[in-house]
Amino acid sequence: MQHDPDYPVYRGDLEHPGVRPGFQLHAPRRLLSGFMDRLYFFFAGVASVWLAVVALLEAVTHSWWSALLILVFWGLLAYLTLPRLHRILTAIYVPDYFIGRTQTSDGLLGDPINLAVRGDSNDVHAAMSRAGWTLAEDVTLASSWRIVVSTLRRSSYPKAPVSPLLLFGRKQDFAYQQEVGGNPGKRHHVRFWKTPEGWVLPGGIAVDWVAAGTYDRSVGVSLFTLQVTHKIDADTDHERDYIVETVTYGNPEAEVRMVEDFSTGYHSRNGGGDSIRTDGDLPILELHDVVERLPEIPDSHPRSRYSYHRHPAELAEKAPLNLWIAGALVSFVALLQMGRGIHRLFEPGYIEQLAAEGGPGPVDGVSAELVGTLLWASTGLLVVLALFQVYLAVNVVRGHQRARKTVLALLCLTFVANAVGILTGTVDSSVIYAVYVLMGSQVAAMLTFTSDSAVNYTVASTQARRRRRRLRRRGRRGRDDAPAAESASPAPSPEADRPSL
């Protein structure tokens, strides 16, 4: 359809980013439940800052491989430290209500809301498909890897996933996109959110969906988090008008109502630090007449694939991908420490070396037999602790709230112990292992276990498990009470069974 000579043409600049005006930094509010969750949340942020500083100092002192260490420092800073710092700072002062802007998962203000729709989900899907748009895939490990490969190779990926943006406390319900020139680095895309029941736009206008459409012009580095991300064209109004024109072109029955000066025209930046500007107008697409048939599953049905009719905590039906990765990291570190302890236990001459370092021999009460006994006991304790951490990690992935808090407590204690060992110079392992493998994995796991997705998933799973237990207990009590009720009822008399004469 896009090759049709009458198909709408995007009026924005596909090659140049345009003027970069000044910007104001805003942030959303994050509400954490429970004192311990708040404590773990802030401790993980402090730990990530400390780890990034240590990595930078190591990069400066090791000149012969500083390039690799600086790359590691950038990874820690961009994907661990800065996102958590933004989450902490944006929890303080950004209002938690609709202001016409989305939010990133790091808490920064994202793309502007520049489109509204009236119609059910079938209307939106049919209209976008007829207009030449492709439904984007969900973000998974496979789709994330594929978009990285396709971007590097500049190969086509029409269903490439888009990063999640938050509105109404949840990510988009779905997104549509159009590639430009078969290059996934350049694309039109628009995210859709179903509005909550009874919700209206400022001014009292009722709509079914709101959307944020922007044009990805290239791949670059985020100004605020230093992460690799897509860079958008500054004039978001061009993308808004392009979406409306393509939809009305592919769906002649669709109507458009323009709400002029819906918001004050402004210049700002999105979560990636890209300049955005808009005139503040908001088009409303009327799509009720696009599809005549009724949807197979109503949007409000509990089994609907959309998330807008449920609380964010109720959306955690399965463990998020980052929780699986964090559980694997915890298990890997625990088993690695256990393996190192067992290896030292059977290393030839290690026990005698420890005994010699403890004193001249039995004169000071330090013998090889005693050192061996203590080493066997400590190694056994290490094995038990490592297996216990693996058990906790498995239960966190299964959705146990207590396991998540317990493994967080162990991670915090282990991190403090390792940090003290590094500062005092008592760590007997290499810097690479102690800092980048062990402590990097611990910080990544702590940040994941204190994230919104992990908290929502474990809380929802624990509550669902408790409800099932209560129902089973009620069922057992009902079965136990039934025989007692039957025995308490009067037995029928023999005369009752005789036929009347």
Number of other CB atoms surrounding residue 107 within 10 Å: 24
Is there a single domain that holds both residue 416 and residue 362? yes
Say yes or no to pLDDT of 373 above 90: no
pLDDT number for residue 357: 63
pLDDT tens for each residue of 61-78: 665 566 666 777 777 777
Residue 150 lies in a domain: yes
Say yes or no to pLDDT of 468 above 90: no
Is there a single domain that holds both residue 239 and residue 149? yes
Residue 482 lies in a domain: no
Is there a single domain that holds both residue 148 and residue 232? yes
pLDDT number for residue 389: 92
pLDDT number for residue 240: 92
Residue 195 lies in a domain: yes
Say yes or no to pLDDT of 399 above 70: yes
Least confident span in 11-15, 287-291, 444-448: 11-15
Confidence band of 481 (pLDDT split at 50, 70, 90):
low
Residue 66 lies in a domain: no
Is there a single domain that holds both residue 128 and residue 275? yes
Q: Do residues 298 and 135 make contact, with C-beta atoms less than 8 angstroms apart? A: no
Q: Which long-range contacts (CB under 8 A, 24 or more apart) does 30-34 make?
A: 30/87, 30/90, 30/91, 30/107, 30/452, 31/91, 31/96, 32/91, 32/455, 33/455, 33/459
Say yes or no to pLDDT of 472 above 80: yes
pLDDT number for residue 354: 67
Q: How far is the C-alpha of 437 from the C-alpha of 224, rounded, in Å?
A: 26
Least confident span in 192-196, 273-277, 443-447, 470-474: 273-277
Is there a single domain that holds both residue 194 and residue 343? no
pLDDT number for residue 245: 94
pLDDT number for residue 271: 67
Calculate the CA dihedral of residues 320, 323, 327, 333 and round it to 10 degrees. Answer: 140
SS (H, E, C) 238-270: HHHHHHHHHHHHHCCCCEEEEECCCCCCEEEEC
What is the residue-wise DSSP string for 135-153? EPPP--HHHHHHHHHHHHH
pLDDT tens for each residue of 29-51: 334 457 788 888 889 888 888 88
Is there a single domain that holds both residue 278 and residue 349? no
pLDDT number for residue 22: 34
pLDDT number for residue 492: 46
The mean per-residue pLDDT over the stretch 242-258 comes to 92
User: Quick one: tokens of 257?
Assistant: 């109502």
Is there a single domain that holds both residue 108 and residue 249? yes
Residue 64 lies in a domain: no
pLDDT tens for each residue of 435-465: 667 888 888 899 889 887 788 888 888 888 8
Question: Mean pLDDT, the chain, as a whole number?
Answer: 77
pLDDT number for residue 317: 59
How much is the CA Rg of the chain, to the nearest whole Å? Answer: 30
- What DSSP designation does 205 have? B
pLDDT number for residue 366: 56
Distances (CA, A) of 213 to 333, 392, 412, 464: 42, 42, 41, 37
pLDDT number for residue 360: 43
Is there a single domain that holds both residue 264 and residue 338? no
pLDDT number for residue 207: 94
pLDDT tens for each residue of 133-174: 999 988 777 887 888 788 777 788 888 888 888 888 888 989
The mean per-residue pLDDT over the stretch 404-412 comes to 92
Q: Name the more confident of 294 and 344.
A: 344
Residue 254 lies in a domain: yes
Say yes or no to pLDDT of 239 above 80: yes
Number of other CB atoms surrounding residue 193 within 10 Å: 23
Is there a single domain that holds both residue 286 and residue 368? no
Q: Could you tell me how far CA 104 lies from the centroid of its own chain?
A: 10
pLDDT number for residue 501: 29
Question: Which pTM was predicted?
Answer: 0.67
Percent of the chain with pLDDT strictly greater than 70: 76
**Domains held by the chain: number:** 2
Is there a single domain that holds both residue 275 and residue 409? no
Residue 50 lies in a domain: no
pLDDT tens for each residue of 297-352: 455 555 555 555 454 444 445 777 788 888 998 998 888 888 888 887 777 776 66
Q: Which of 218-222, 429-433, 451-455, 497-501 has the highest mean pLDDT?
A: 451-455
pLDDT number for residue 387: 92
Is there a single domain that holds both residue 194 and residue 128? yes
Q: Which long-range contacts (CB under 8 A, 24 or more apart) does 343-350 make?
A: 344/375, 344/379, 345/375, 345/376, 345/379
Q: Which of 90-94, 195-199, 226-230 has the highest mean pLDDT?
A: 195-199
pLDDT number for residue 212: 94
Residue 54 lies in a domain: no
Q: Which of 81-95, 345-359, 420-434, 478-492 has the highest mean pLDDT?
A: 81-95
The H or E element containing residue 409 is helix 401-424
Say yes or no to pLDDT of 427 above 70: no
Least confident span in 76-90, 103-117, 245-259: 76-90
Confidence band of 26 (pLDDT split at 50, 70, 90):
very low
pLDDT number for residue 284: 94
Is there a single domain that holds both residue 288 and residue 419? no
The domain in which residue 436 lies consists of 321-454
